[in-house]
Amino acid sequence: MAFQRAVKGTVLVGGGALAILGLSQFTHYRRKQVNLAYVEAAEYFTEPVNREPPSREAQLLTLKNTSEFDILVIGGGATGSGCALDAVTRGLKTALVERDDFSSGTSSRSTKLIHGGVRYLQKAIMKLDIEQYRMVKEALHERANLLEIAPHLSAPLPIMLPIYKWWQLPYYWVGIKLYDLVAGSNCLKSSYVLSKSRALEHFPMLQKDKLVGAIVYYDGQHNDARMNLAIALTAARYGAATANYMEVVSLLKKTDPQTGKECVSGARCKDVLTGQEFDVRAKCVINATGPFTDSVRKMDDKNAAAICQPSAGVHIVMPGYYSPESMGLLDPATSDGRVIFFLPWQKMTIAGTTDTPTDITQHPIPSEEDINFILNEVQ
């Protein structure tokens, strides 16, 4: 399994502007804009408009027959679907289009973890980096929030950190305890130390002769694809016109009568299933296409400089006996310093992930080099 993620992005907000949202920016954007974007009509949306989501045919008719939407979201991943749901429940006339299927890209190919980032905390302490610390603090808060609001899609997961040298035991123990401390009231469960024999009961394929013991800490595990689909369906139930297999082929523009400048006013969309094209007009267009951010930006300005550096991640799926059903494993001692997880998922084990620069492709595939790296680390 291979996926691409955008590791750098920006947010451009304004009347008739092309707004670009990356996954990490959406939370900050939403919080900062909550007062600006508040609409009185949102008070009336106490119940979904539709008990059952409208059919795709009905959604297409809405897209074709609506003279102008308030917001058009391009991209039906977690970020795009979240933008659509947020907008429609504020009373804004909202459209959402996705080139493939909902959650067919990065939003279904993660490591399935919701975590603050133990390694980020290590960097924050070792380099006295306050921004890294704030990121960990916020991520731990979001982890607790997701576990609370979506218990049917999320659950705490103990993760074991094997220790192979005696001096590492107090070193990692202090680091993990600081992780618990930063989580504060959002700490899922206090970390603890496992003896060598207990660690081998959970993961008998660890190197017995070198193993000293292990430390277990808690993070969250999350069904990302189901969450993405649930958000998109909820947006549709509240009245957002949502359609998958709708590709944006160009952006529509109009001249602002006040400034005399051209501004984005919608998109030309193509039904991938039938080949039919039609215009969807909107006051604001949000670019939530993840690693494809720059391709949409260049529709607006072909000379626009690239702002997105795509990164490729690869996981491999192994038999379930590589990990117990109720515990994962983190290996920080890889040959090049990258962290690898072994996580139980649907009675199998996910091992990964890599993190390497890549070119943008619509259907990324894992490279032989990445697969061999993970297999070698497993050995």
Confidence label for 258 from pLDDT (cuts 50, 70 and 90) = confident
- Of the chain, the end-to-end C-alpha distance in Å amounts to 20
| Predicted pLDDT of residue 2 | 62
Q: Is the bond leading into 353 cis (omega within 30 degrees of zero)?
A: yes
List CB contacts of 248: < 8 A, sequence separation 6 or more. Answer: 74, 97, 99, 267, 268, 269, 270, 296, 299
Question: CA 81, CA 76: separation in Å to the nearest integer?
Answer: 5
Give the DSSP H or E segment for 355: none
Phi, psi values for residue 291, rounded to 5°? -65, -15
Confidence label for 46 from pLDDT (cuts 50, 70 and 90) = low
Please, are residues 73 and 246 in contact by the beta-carbon 8 Å criterion?
no
Residue 11 has pLDDT above 80, yes or no: no
| Predicted pLDDT of residue 252 | 93
Query: Average pLDDT for residues 272-283, to the nearest whole number?
Result: 94
Structure tokens belonging to residue 278: 């039609």
Please, are residues 19 and 201 in contact by the beta-carbon 8 Å criterion?
no
**Helix spans in the chain (H):** 23-37, 56-65, 78-88, 118-126, 130-149, 168-183, 196-202, 224-237, 293-300, 368-378
pLDDT tens for each residue of 208-234: 888 899 999 999 999 999 999 999 999
Query: Average pLDDT for residues 55-67, to the nearest whole number?
Result: 93
323: which DSSP letter?
S
| Predicted pLDDT of residue 321 | 83
The winner for highest mean pLDDT among 160-174, 267-281, 290-304 is 267-281
* Residue 364 exposed, middle or buried by CB count within 10 Å (0-12, 13-18, 19+): buried
| Predicted pLDDT of residue 320 | 85
Residue 62 has pLDDT above 90, yes or no: yes
C-alpha distances out from residue 99 to 237, 247, 287, 309, Å: 20, 4, 13, 21
Closest Cα to residue 96, out of 112, 77, 111, 109?
77
Query: Average pLDDT for residues 312-327, to the nearest whole number?
Result: 86
Q: What is the mean pLDDT of the chain?
A: 84
Phi, psi values for residue 16, rounded to 5°? 70, 10
Query: Average pLDDT for residues 34-53, to the nearest whole number?
Result: 55
